Amino acid sequence: MLLSTVIGETFEPSSFAQPPARSRVETWWHWMDGRISKDGLSLDLDSMKMQGIQRATITLVGFGAGADSPIALGTPEFFDVIRFTANEAKMRGITLGLTAGPGWSGAGGPWIPVEQSMKRVVFSSVTVDGDREVTVQLPALPANAGWARDTYVLAWPDHRTPSRMSLSPRVLNNGRSEDTNALCDANPSTSIASAASADSKTWSVSIPFSTGHRAERAFIWLQSSIWMKSQPLTLGIRADGHLVAEKEMSVSQLEEPITITFPRVTAQTFEVEVRLPDNASFNASQFSLREAEFLEAEESPQWDSAFRDLGSQISDSAGPLSILATASLTPTAGDIPADKVVNLTALRTGDIVTWKVPPGRWRIVRYGYTTTNQKINPAPPGGAGYESDKMSAAATELQYRSYITPILEAAGSGNRSTFTLLTADSWESGMQNWCADFPEQFRRRRGYDIVPWMPALTGATVNSTQETLRFFNDFRETISDLVIENYYEKLCQLAHADGLAFAAEFAFAGPRLDAFRMTRAIDVPMEELWSDWKDGKPPTIPDGTITQTVFASAAQVCGKRIFGYELFTSLRGDWRRTPGDFSFVGDLAFLKGMNQASLHSMMHQPDERQPGLTLQGFGQHFQRHNTWWTLARDWLSELARKQYIFQNSSSFHDILIYYGDTLPRSELNLSKFVLPENVQPLFIDHDTLINRISVKDGMLRLDNAGTFACLILPGSTMFSSGSALRVDTLQCLSKLVDAGATLIGEPPLRTPGLLNFREEDALLKALVAHLWNNLPDNTLDPHRVGKGFVYRTDNVAQVLANAGYLPTLRSNSSEGGRNVKFCHILSEDKEAYFLFNPNEGPASFVCDVADLKKRMPERWDPANGSIAPLPVFRHRAGRTIFPVDIPAKSSVFIVLQTVAAPRWVSTHPSESSFTGLAGIAFRERSPTRWTATSTQSKEVSLTCPEGAVITLNFPSPRTLPVNTPWRLQFRQLAGQPEITMTEPVSWTSLSDDRFRNYSGLVVYETSLNVPPDFLRDAGNVILDIGHVGRACRVSINGRNAGTLWRQPWQISVDRLVNPGENSISIEVVNTWYNRLMADQSLPARERTTWTSWPRIKDWLAENAEPEQSGLLGPVKLVAYPEIELPATR
């Protein structure tokens, strides 16, 4: 069950306390709209240095906000700024990164000609009657930006019934007359764009007929440029002005055609109507209508495809997550035999084809490709241009030489080494499915000619649904290969030649790619983890086990020590949140397998207007103008300590899951399995399965190390029924099972590809019979194969339970709340558990971990870098049981340590009594001397190593109220005015507008006389400050005690407090919300705040109440008496 892919790596206490630079947090550094100043750059870098940020990735963006004198990309002024920035960063020990292009959408710019932009398939068609020679003028190809190139002219028998829509030659688009043909030409590349105004919430298209038109259903295919696909809308159908049907839906449902039925009606005019909510953040001009036909019951539309999601990819580069043809519908037009597809390409002269047509009705289709017209987004001044062709190595090199090389050269030889990283940001450039040499690449990789299968790209079924789906899988695999090789791998090669590492976010909004192949092609794989969505609410912590992502598996299996993540991305950067609201999202990232954060985001601030420039409404505000930024170092150090541990270890996994042989891969179908609680799966791909998996003693092994209880085949969703596997995959699985492995899953029904599929399917069928032997579905009775077993069930949990398999950690919450979330990690010489408390309050857990070596648990606290033994535990039946307290939505590491001699307490009578240990802290004063404190009065019994049972009686803690007056200094106000409070209250209750509406830092100072008796026998002393509106940093007698972001508002001041007079200083910050809200009611000239995000006023209007701010109290000092425990032998 052990797996480590970081042999030679380990983690040490000294580096945990002070993490090395390579383990510290990184940040995106967005430069917006050419608003760049050298003074601002220096101050930004100073603030990064102060907070311990190791690297900043420069990202040039533009939102059209403009500047009086913008510094445009590519100008001498820009390269001068680059040289300056590299030198300033070098002086501060900060390294720099670059994105692959301006904007955040991908890679491209003004240097990319249309010929090297992203491309997609387009077609036009005409229908002719046969048994005669015809000369046909082919309709022009749809041509974005007026540019298209021809590839083929093909013809095949057409079994469709002609559309009655042709009886209406014109339509009215918000009253504007347009050609009807675009709505019934079975071509999603042609459409009617909305004529609605930019502020309109409605749009309609009317289709008049010269005579009555009878219909009872509408076939509608809309398209939208709105990227927030959850947005609602209403689709209405009218006949002669009367509403006959309407459908409430979301923008996401527009990716596919929609059929709406209504009572049969005969009308002169039918109308399609789009209505948006009055408060919608988008408008009706962002739609177009691809197809619209009004049909009778048995009448078929002209777009009569058997395949879902096809049109989205072949026609729209901006389709969000469209997957090419993954499930089948029921076509009515019939199949097209591949041998009936006639290649007329050689007969084309310009737009003319002359051909002797065989008998029957034939469809002649002109194929080609055009640019997707995808542009850099959001483009900074000087950066606007096409996205580069991601399937072309030449286009990728042009991009690199035009953007990256000049920046590196501008840095100068002395500063060039400051740039260490190239990053491909999230794929937001839409779909691409063609390149200039795609047919040749397809033949070389798939082994057959694409031409007879091109009709599938018009929605047709070639030979059969299953054969066409096989072609589509081959088509997707080819796209994946070309993008990985010619974009990601090529960028990595170019980066290495310049001494840069290469990182890339996985293409969630792009073509489906093989995650393992992509991971092998790059240095640092990355994902995103958002801190909130449009409503501003943080993500929900899921119930059950938080399993690592397939990308985390790919990173570990492929030996990538660093798995990066864009952290705290947000859709509502309204200045109202602090790390106390969202820091737990970082813990979720670690649980998912990520280990290097890049903050989203730090905006370059060219001047001192506050809060300053924003990335529109995106991201949290990690920048020097934010009120709480000066307090962030302790929190960022906590993140760095966690990263240090995870970067120098690897995750433990219990079971294997096969990634699959079809594209998209099998993770899409994993949810049907019932996995055991606290069991972590590791995904493996085909290459890993074939070359690196073996069996020993009935357990699967990776690289002859580790043990895995079973391998799961999750199947795929590509085919309409059943899954598909390659023959060599099943041959390997057969050998593993024969050798003793356990295999769980459904038998595959077919192979995935088209080439020689009948022969391949026959071989597969024989292997399936050997392994599954007609096992009934969903049975827990296995089929014995050699030394191993095959199960045909979704209930993996029960299979493992029946086999007596135990997870490496089990836990329960003493308070009855949610159980701890965990990640089991291993290094070369250490074993540890990362424990996360998902509850809203502090919780005590009793944990039970696998431990044959009978080690002692040790608590490593990332909040402050402290390390302390947990001396109360019990060894039983190869496991170690121990209690642990964890603050709300926080985490600790438990490291299992081998000790030379028994500690003071090594066992405990029963696990149930562990629950009485909540709030007790033990301290090792020397190898033979232990003490303990308790947060409450209680009596506890413990068992000594010698077997004697002792009873500990803890007295009540002592409290000392802080009732002395507080002096307040408002640091961000002119003159830094001071006031005095006899007791803490919210600034919002003060009468002076300067203080009531204040946003920023206030220093609270007072003194407290501590009697000597108060500290006598105190094992720990805390300062309880009651409540704070929003965050604070505490100092006692001039020494920093730490920073607090959330409840409980308590901090240890042990060893800082002395008998007699003590000074207390508390730096309190609130957010920008109160000052921003107050300024909305003031004339612009009287406002003290400024931000570039115009929608901030809308967000502020949603909640007009000011936020409580400042030290709210009550404040008190609490001393916990220390009990001396008997000495050990």
Smallest CA-to-CA distance from 9 within 897, 644, 648 is with 648
How big is the CA angle at 23 (ends 18 and 25), to the nearest 5 degrees? 105
Does the predicted model carry a pTM greater than 0.85? Answer: yes
At 913 the three-state DSSP class reads helix
At 622 the three-state DSSP class reads coil
How big is the CA angle at 891 (ends 657 and 560), to the nearest 5 degrees? 40
Whether 286 and 231 have beta carbons less than 8 Å apart is answered as no
295 Cβ contact partners less than 8 Å away, ≥ 6 residues apart: 215, 216, 217, 218, 219, 301
For each of the domains in the chain, give its residue range(s) and CATH number, in order of start.
13-112+374-432+482-648 (3.20.20.80), 164-303 (2.60.120.260), 653-801 (no CATH), 809-956 (2.60.40.1180), 979-1071+1107-1119 (2.60.120.260)
The pair of structure tokens assigned to 339 is 């041998």
Question: What is the C-alpha end-to-end distance of the chain, expressed in Å?
Answer: 37
903 Cβ contact partners less than 8 Å away, ≥ 6 residues apart: 856, 869, 871, 924, 930, 945, 1128
Whether 483 and 490 have beta carbons less than 8 Å apart is answered as no
The pair of structure tokens assigned to 1077 is 């809200």
**pLDDT lower than 70: segments of the chain:** 1-8, 308-334, 509, 666-670, 716-722, 899-916, 945, 1127-1129
- Greatest Cα-to-Cα distance within the chain, rounded to the nearest angstrom: 112
CA distance 401 to 490: 12
The angle that helices 584-591 and 632-647 make with each other, rounded to 10 degrees, is: 10
Check residue 1042 and give left, alpha or beta (phi > 0: left; psi -120 to 50: alpha).
Answer: left
At 189 the three-state DSSP class reads coil
Whether 194 and 233 have beta carbons less than 8 Å apart is answered as no
Q: Write phi, then psi, for 1049 (nearest 5 degrees).
A: -80, 65
**pLDDT recorded at residue 926:** 76
**pLDDT recorded at residue 667:** 52
CA distance 546 to 675: 11
Residue where the block lists tokens 């489906």 = 512
Which H/E stretch holds residue 235? strand 232-239
**pLDDT recorded at residue 268:** 94
Residue where the block lists tokens 């059209």 = 64
At 421 the three-state DSSP class reads strand
Whether 871 and 922 have beta carbons less than 8 Å apart is answered as yes
* Amino acid at site 433: N
Kind of pairing between the strands at 95-99 and 419-424:
parallel
How far CA 1105 is from CA of 170, 576, 825, 1046, in Å, comes to 55, 12, 46, 21
Whether 679 and 654 have beta carbons less than 8 Å apart is answered as yes
Q: What is the DSSP letter of 400?
A: I
CA distance 250 to 233: 6
Q: What is the DSSP string of 11-80?
A: --HHHHHS--GGGS-EEEEEEETT---HHHHHHHHHHHHHHT--EEEEEEE--S---SS---TTSHHHHH
CA distance 476 to 182: 28
At 928 the three-state DSSP class reads coil
The pair of structure tokens assigned to 1121 is 């008496």
CA distance 539 to 546: 13
CA distance 123 to 138: 10
Bridge partners of 436, per DSSP, are none
CA distance 214 to 545: 56
Smallest CA-to-CA distance from 1126 within 943, 954, 956 is with 943
Smallest CA-to-CA distance from 876 within 917, 846, 911 is with 911
Q: Over the range 258-282, which residues count as b (16 or more CB within 10 Å of their CB) and which as e?
A: eebebeebebeebbbbbbbeeeeeb
How many helices and strands in the chain, by DSSP H and E? 22, 63
The pair of structure tokens assigned to 214 is 């009878």
Smallest CA-to-CA distance from 521 within 503, 535, 509 is with 503
Tell whether the torsion through CA atoms of 550, 551, 556 and 559 is positive or negative: positive
Long-range contacts of 725-729 (CB under 8 A, 24+ apart): 725/660, 725/661, 725/751, 725/752, 725/764, 726/661, 726/686, 726/751, 726/752, 726/753, 726/760, 727/751, 727/760, 727/763, 727/764, 727/767, 728/690, 729/658, 729/661, 729/686, 729/689, 729/690
* Spacing of C-alpha 610 from chain mean position: 30
Smallest CA-to-CA distance from 290 within 168, 162, 193, 160 is with 193
The pair of structure tokens assigned to 298 is 């048995």
**pLDDT recorded at residue 1:** 38
As a three-state string, the secondary structure of 111-128 is CCCHHHECEEEEEEEEEE
Whether 250 and 231 have beta carbons less than 8 Å apart is answered as yes
Q: What is the DSSP string of 864-899?
A: TTEEEE----EEETTEEEEEEEE-TT-EEEEEEE--
* Amino acid at site 52: G
Smallest CA-to-CA distance from 291 within 259, 321, 262 is with 259
The Cβ of residue 878 has, within 10 Å, a number of other Cβ atoms equal to: 11
Residue where the block lists tokens 């060893």 = 1055
The Cβ of residue 1050 has, within 10 Å, a number of other Cβ atoms equal to: 17
How far CA 201 is from CA of 193, 251, 379, 761, in Å, comes to 15, 14, 28, 53
Check residue 524 and give left, alpha or beta (phi > 0: left; psi -120 to 50: alpha).
Answer: beta
